[in-house]
């Protein structure tokens, strides 16, 4: 439902009963008049079950977390709150995991750069297995990016394979083709996105999942690569000059999410909202902001700005029409995904999947 409102609206989340079927945002026009945006409240733990099998993963909006297991090392290495366990993330709607690992005593353990993040890869695999085999969430899928944080390339790849084989579900739970599948092909499975290895040595048919051909470090304007017939455009500019560059960061990371109605070739957008600026502005500050920006003291963080951008897209493009409304598509990875408190952008990203639908994407 949409009630017209002019540009530059300042939307606020309206408090509604906990059992309400609706999420409501409002914009104040005058002392007694408001405009409203109303969305259905969706169960983020199983939202993919509402999407047809024929929809390709490249046509989905999937919320993700940057450095998913980086719960420690505040303020530089920490990217997620310790209260947001992997299980909590999955139930909140996070579907793209950014798992970074290093070898410690012949085991893989989560790391962020040189900082140990303590969780064993085996524990991560167990949590994912439990989520995907629970009846209420068994029709979901998870994209897992695995990035190597040490230098022993051959041994790392071997250990990833070994720990997956011996984990609950084994290799049978994984999609390992270097191709973007349809949702129906990977329900109940983990889609590997490998940022390790080169030739797949030691893996069956040398298959290590979706494997980017390039990944330039800290590219301000992003880069593109091909996964079979899909063009993948990626934004991963993470070291920015200062907090004054937040508007530019937000613009670059959201622009690639606006999908064309006639995308040829098919396109997948991957956008990292994460950022830092040494020596004073670290991931928590960039994600959450600082001070009281509504009173002109401090500045607004990336997450809040992206949330406002998403609502503006729904308003300006007419979200009431599920076929011709906003087409926001891509995999979006963020730090401190629950912030701003009580106004996480994950439900807004989930809602994007149900706007601007096209039959050629697999919707009947």
Residue partners of 335: CB distance under 8 A and separation at least 6: 65, 66, 67, 79, 80, 273, 274, 283, 284, 286, 287, 302, 303
Residue 161 CB partners (closer than 8 Å, separation 6+): 202, 203
- Reply yes or no on whether the pLDDT at 43 is more than 80: yes
pLDDT of 259 over the 90 cut: no
Percent of the chain with pLDDT over 70: 93
Q: What is the mean pLDDT of the chain?
A: 91
At 278 the pLDDT is 80
Shortest CA distance to 312 belongs to which of 16, 19, 25, 48?
25
Alpha-carbon distance of 270 to 329, in angstroms, equals 9
pTM of the model: 0.93
Taking the CA of residue 45 as centre, how many other CA atoms within 13 Å lie in the half-sphere pointing to its CB?
Answer: 12
| Least confident segment among 83-87, 169-173, 303-307, 360-364 | 360-364
CA 44 vs CA 64, 84, 85, 346, 353: distances in Å: 13, 15, 16, 8, 12
Q: Tell me: the pLDDT tens digits for 211-256? A: 999 999 999 999 999 999 999 999 999 999 988 899 999 999 999 9
Going by C-alpha positions, the residue among 46, 39, 44 that lies closest to residue 1 is 39
């Amino acid at each position: 439902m949409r009630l017209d409102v002019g540009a530059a609206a300042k939307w606020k989340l309206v408090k509604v009963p906990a059992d309400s079927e609706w999420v409501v945002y409002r914009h104040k026009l005058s002392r007694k008049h408001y405009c409203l945006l109303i969305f259905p409240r969706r169960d983020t733990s199983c939202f993919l079950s509402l999407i047809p099998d024929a929809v390709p993963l490249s046509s989905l909006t999937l919320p993700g977390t940057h450095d998913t297991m980086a719960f420690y090392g505040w303020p530089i290495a920490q990217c997620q709150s310790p209260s947001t366990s992997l299980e909590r993330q999955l139930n909140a709607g996070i579907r793209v995991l950014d798992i970074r690992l290093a070898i410690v005593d012949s085991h893989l353990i989560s790391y962020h750069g040189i900082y140990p993040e303590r969780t064993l890869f085996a524990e991560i695999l167990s949590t994912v297995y439990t989520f995907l085999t629970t009846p209420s969430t068994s029709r979901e899928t998870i994209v897992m990016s695995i990035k190597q944080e040490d230098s022993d390339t051959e041994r790392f790849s071997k250990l990833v394979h070994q720990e997956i084989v011996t984990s609950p579900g084994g290799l049978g739970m994984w999609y390992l083709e270097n191709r973007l599948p349809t949702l129906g092909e990977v329900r109940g499975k983990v889609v590997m996105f490998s940022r390790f290895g080169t030739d797949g040595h030691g893996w069956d048919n040398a298959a290590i999942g979706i494997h980017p051909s390039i990944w330039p470090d800290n590219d301000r304007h992003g880069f593109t690569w091909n996964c079979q017939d899909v063009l993948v455009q990626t934004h991963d500019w993470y070291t920015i000059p200062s907090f004054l560059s937040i508007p530019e960061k937000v613009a670059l990371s959201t622009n690639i999410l606006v999908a064309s109605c006639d995308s040829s070739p098919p396109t997948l957008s991957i956008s990292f909202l994460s950022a830092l600026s040494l020596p004073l502005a670290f991931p928590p500050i960039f994600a959450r902001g600082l001070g009281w920006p509504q009173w002109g003291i401090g500045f607004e963080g990336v997450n809040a700005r992206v949330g406002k951008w998403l609502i503006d897209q729904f308003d300006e493009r007419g979200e009431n029409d599920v076929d011709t409304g906003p087409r926001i598509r891509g995999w979006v990875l963020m730090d401190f995904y629950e912030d701003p408190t009580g106004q996480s952008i994950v439900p807004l990203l989930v809602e994007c999947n149900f706007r601007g639908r096209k039959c050629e994407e697999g919707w009947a």
